[in-house]
Structure 1
Amino acid sequence: MGSASSSGYVPKVIYLQKGSVPHKVMFSKHCRPSDIKELLCTTVGLSRNTLIMLMDQNNAIISIDPTMPTNAPSSPYRVVPLSGRQLTVNDLKTEIACRLAALEMRVELEGLKMVEIEKCKNDLKTLKDELTLGNRSNTSCKHAILEEPIKLTLQRDVPKYPKYTLSQETIEALKKPTFDVWHWEYNEMLSCLEYMYHDLGLVHEFNMNPFILKRWLLSIQENYRNNPFHNFRHCFCVTQMMYGMIYLCDLQEKLSLTDLVILMTGAICHDLDHPGYNNAYQINARTELAVRYNDISPLENHHCAVAFQILSQPECNIFANVDPEIFKRIRQGIIKLILATDMARHGEILDTFKPKVATFDFLNEEHIISLKMLLIKCCDISNEVRPTEVADPWVDCLLEEYFTQSDREKSEGLPVAPFMDRDKVTKPTAQIGFIKFVLIPTFETLMTLFPQIEEAMVQPLRDSRDRYEELKQINDAMNELRKKTENIPLGWQKK
């Protein structure tokens, strides 16, 4: 047998209370829990098959496995035989919690090994392709488009992504449109998104590696830019509303898990790498995106491309264990939903859905696709459904992004949309028309199929419309008064 010094092997060392003297016990980190239990029994003079429990100086139960914490000779563990002693519920809970923690650590370590193996395979394939291509001639194209670099290498890894245990209050709040999205940091939002995938049964159904799910969510977050409006918080906002819709409309009973994963993943990815300037600017300015996608929904096409670039990385591919045919359906579904978020297609999507409502069939694939497109549209523009204190800051964020774009359009001599011009728009005027002619008709159309959304979603929109109309009346009256005051001759003013 080789010595420890020659092999670099360091055994695990713990100390047991045996009589009045601590007794040193050593074992390998590769030992099975059953082997360690037998070793502990024989050390303290018990039969090898004796049921035992290991406790520290504070009477806390220590999990008997290779990951157990080490101790010092001054605080030895006690081996307590269980024969003749009844385990309490708390003892069992503690034991189960310890075993789950050890199992979770092992799963993460195994997941990391698998990810590294897949990365190596991918790198080798890339290298092989490059060698195969060799020195083939590189034909230059006058209108060649260089790819924008996407952040496929994470700036931080899962160990720096804290795991939050959500309270029951938070879990219930996540299912409601009233959820306040402003109270959460990015890591907390990531934990909430992770919980949603577990809660809906998507992780189990599609055999997602929990470690890779974390990596994927991190990559998603890092590929949202720090725009005033189209940022990761907006992504979370839309996805949380979709999660709430699934519960409010009882979609778990009506749609397949494949449909649900399309809805949730489409919502998370729908604005990836948004540059903060809309399609009109992209097309008018003839940007690289507009040229690449022939002026057809350039932003939405870009969001889709980034989403699947991220999924193409082995360390972020949450669908790695999915059957190719099912993945094909998931991919097509996600693309349809993201492209549906182009507001230029709003009327078309609404008009396609309306005739289906009276005879809607949840077994009809065409009906389901139309419903999913309407659902992501509703979630994407749902801020005014939320309480005023949650919705109001979003209007400021959107106007800031609009004004930045219109200022740039003016400086570049491009057309400026009136609703984005800081010299022509106020919060009430910006919102009244959008709520009356876009939001309310859209949600009322969905309400014909799901009447339960009226109280939770449609009525808040009507209240918001009334509030902005009152604000407009007040603003108009103040402007009128200001004009009259300005027209008073100076000699009439009180001295």
Structure 2
Amino acid sequence: MGSGISKARRGLLYISYNGKVQKFMFDRKATSRDIQEQLAISCGLTRLSNVILKCRGDVIAISPSMPNNTPQEPYTLEQAGYNVSANDIIASTVKEIGKQFRQAFMVEETKREVYNRVASIESRVEKDGKRLMEMEKYKLDLVELRDAIYNKQTNTLDYNRLRPAITLPNHFYCPSTEQESLISMARDIPAYNKYVLTNETKEALKTPQFDVWQWEPNEMLILLEEMYFELGLVDELDIHPATLKRFLLRVQENYRNNPFHNFRHCFCVTQMMYVLIHGCRLQEVLSKRDICVLLTACICHDLDHPGFNNTYQINSRSELAVRYNDMSPLENHHCAVSFKILSSPECNIFANLTPEEFKEVRGDMIILILATDMARHAEILDAFKQKLDNFDYSSEDHLNTLKMILIKACDISNECRPIQVSEGWVECLMEEYFHQSDQEKKECLPVAPFMDRDRVTKPTAQIGFIKYVLLPLFEALNKLYPEVEFIALESLKQALNHYERMKDFDENKKKLFAGPVMSKSGRDWYSEKQMVDEGGQ
């Protein structure tokens, strides 16, 4: 192994002590005292030994600028006695200062303890008062809920009316409205570890085969926490574990119960980023701070999503579209809610960064979350493709483009998972799309064909999306990271084949059942037989 000192800074001496010649290397940037201590230690003496160097009887001053010599003319090292008086004075002085500091801190600790006790009592009194108010509020909520699900026709409570997509009010977070309570701490973290992850779970978490449907929201919080610890982000950014727990809990509370854009989707996107970090060894080219920003942006990228996309916001002239001038209104809103959560000291996982570092982290997170707007898909993908042939990891522009492509890939990565995992997400997305298109029809707004329940089918929607959006994106990423072939492309091709077979089956089924209506010829024996079998006229 090397000495760790560059050639320009390395000094080399040959020293003779007790009749033996040995080689001594030192750093020319070190102090004279450091070099003297190293010389003493290298010859088996104590660090505080006073040593001198002689050459042909002349004393040589020990300093970083000492000239190198040869084995034929070594310097002679001699011990000139042991002097501890100065060190004894320093030691006694430090000891006295330490004693005074301890006394001062004990006073501060006592003050802090008294203050904490008083604050605790005040908090309990305040909570008791709020609890009484909340009980009255819950009574009113229960009455409203009962009225909402009451079916007058059958005189019963119809629980099917509690569809997740429509139970929450149609509001957004806005600093000027009462909805700021969405960000408040509705509940605190438990005082004990509720879950313990096995090694098998930790390893499975690094693969695209991880089945997200088998985990409850509270379990997903623990899995997200594990990602921060396993990647070394907690130590690197000096994140307090309780702060991380509170941050994740606040994020979970600020995702709505939409069919698709919900907390489980947030977890899926983050878990796929975790897969890419490990599978493509991104730690080798990105700093831990960049890794943390990527992971945190994934977690926050759809905060408080209302279940209606940007097109609806702009066409309906919603509050968000007006506020953000029709420019990525949802993504700007997700950013605003993210930093509103981080503005709370008990949730700020970046609290121990310097103001300049936090400014850079904030800028990076905004860039990444805004990149998830699909309206910018072609722009970002084209910029990435142009940089692929000469990708420069030392260029900030190149790295920003890479990070934008990574979060975009993770955001739309459901089809990179096994069919039995990904197909559930297709159903959820179509339910959210159909809910929006129904609302657009009611308000006489334009309806996108791929959202119209009367025009779109699952296989046709998926085939187009995989062919023209997913495959070009992941194939471009595969040129920079060949591991993407195994992580994503294989599953994407299988998914494409699956939906093409489904489309063929649906078309054959249509032809089979459309034939009897279109023709009465003798060839359509199926028509006559089917109508008789089914009791048709």
State the TM-score, normalizing by the size of structure 1.
Answer: 0.70
Whether the 8 Å CA contact 2:342–2:349 is kept in 1: the answer is yes
Post-superposition Cα deviations, 1:95-148, rounded to whole Å, max 9, x if no partner, equal xxxxxxxxxxxxxx99xx79x89x99xxxxxxxxxxxxxxxxxxxxxxx99444
Q: Which residue of 2 aligns with 1:309?
A: 340
Following TM superposition, by how much is the alpha carbon of 1:363 offset from its aligned partner in structure 2, in angstroms? 1.4
Partners of 1:252 and 1:150 lie apart in 2 by 38
The 5 A counterparts of 1:224-263 are 224-263=255-294
Partners of 1:354 and 1:173 lie apart in 2 by 31
The 5 A counterparts of 1:347-366 are 347-366=378-397
Query: What is the SS of the residue equivalent to 1:327?
Result: helix
Following TM superposition, by how much is the alpha carbon of 1:488 offset from its aligned partner in structure 2, in angstroms? 5.7
Partners of 1:366 and 1:491 lie apart in 2 by 68
The 5 A counterparts of 1:281-296 are 281-296=312-327
Change (3 A) 1:478 1:266: same
Query: What is the SS of the residue equivalent to 1:305?
Result: helix
Q: Which residue of 2 aligns with 1:168?
A: 199
Change (3 A) 1:466 1:491: closer
Structure 2 counterpart of 1:251, which letter?
Answer: L
Whether the 8 Å CA contact 1:340–1:373 is kept in 2: the answer is yes
Following TM superposition, by how much is the alpha carbon of 1:309 offset from its aligned partner in structure 2, in angstroms? 0.2
Structure 1 counterpart of 2:347, which letter?
Answer: C
Change (3 A) 1:366 1:161: farther
Percent identical pairs in the alignment equals 59
1:322 to 340, 343, 353: 353
Post-superposition Cα deviations, 1:214-244, rounded to whole Å, max 9, x if no partner, equal 0100000000000000000000000000011
The 5 A counterparts of 1:208-227 are 208-227=239-258
Whether the 8 Å CA contact 2:516–2:528 is kept in 1: the answer is no
Partners of 1:349 and 1:305 lie apart in 2 by 22
Q: Which residue of 2 aligns with 1:269?
A: 300
Q: Which residue of 2 aligns with 1:201?
A: 232
Post-superposition Cα deviations, 1:308-352, rounded to whole Å, max 9, x if no partner, equal 000001111111111111111111000000000000000000011
Partners of 1:343 and 1:328 lie apart in 2 by 26
Q: Which residue of 2 aligns with 1:436?
A: 467
Partners of 1:268 and 1:145 lie apart in 2 by 22
Change (3 A) 1:305 1:404: same
Q: Is residue 181 of structure 1 aligned with residue 173 of structure 2?
A: no
Whether the 8 Å CA contact 1:145–1:288 is kept in 2: the answer is no
The 5 A counterparts of 1:473-492 are 473-487=504-518
Partners of 1:373 and 1:434 lie apart in 2 by 19
Following TM superposition, by how much is the alpha carbon of 1:434 offset from its aligned partner in structure 2, in angstroms? 0.3
Structure 1 counterpart of 2:386, which letter?
Answer: P
Q: Which residue of 2 aligns with 1:459?
A: 490
Long gaps (5+) in structure 2: 1-111, 124-173, 521-526
Post-superposition Cα deviations, 1:434-473, rounded to whole Å, max 9, x if no partner, equal 0000000000000000011102211110111111011101
Following TM superposition, by how much is the alpha carbon of 1:160 offset from its aligned partner in structure 2, in angstroms? 6.9
Whether the 8 Å CA contact 2:303–2:338 is kept in 1: the answer is yes
Partners of 2:225 and 2:192 lie apart in 1 by 12
Change (3 A) 1:467 1:233: same
Structure 2 counterpart of 1:299, which letter?
Answer: L
Following TM superposition, by how much is the alpha carbon of 1:359 offset from its aligned partner in structure 2, in angstroms? 1.0
Following TM superposition, by how much is the alpha carbon of 1:406 offset from its aligned partner in structure 2, in angstroms? 0.1
Q: Which residue of 1 aligns with 2:80?
A: none
Report the more deviating stretch, 462-471 or 406-415. 462-471
Query: What is the SS of the residue equivalent to 1:149?
Result: helix
Structure 1 counterpart of 2:258, which letter?
Answer: N
Which one has more relative contact order, counting CA pairs under 8 Å at least 6 apart?
1
Q: How many residues align?
A: 361
Q: Which residue of 2 aligns with 1:66?
A: none
Partners of 1:161 and 1:146 lie apart in 2 by 37
1:415 to 443, 446, 462: 446
Long gaps (5+) in structure 1: 1-108, 121-143
Query: What is the SS of the residue equivalent to 1:448?
Result: helix
Partners of 2:264 and 2:394 lie apart in 1 by 34
Whether the 8 Å CA contact 1:163–1:191 is kept in 2: the answer is no
1:368 to 386, 399, 407: 399
Report the RMSD for the aligned CA atoms in angstroms.
Answer: 2.4
Following TM superposition, by how much is the alpha carbon of 1:253 offset from its aligned partner in structure 2, in angstroms? 1.1
Query: What is the SS of the residue equivalent to 2:265?
Result: helix
Q: Is residue 448 of structure 1 aligned with residue 479 of structure 2?
A: yes
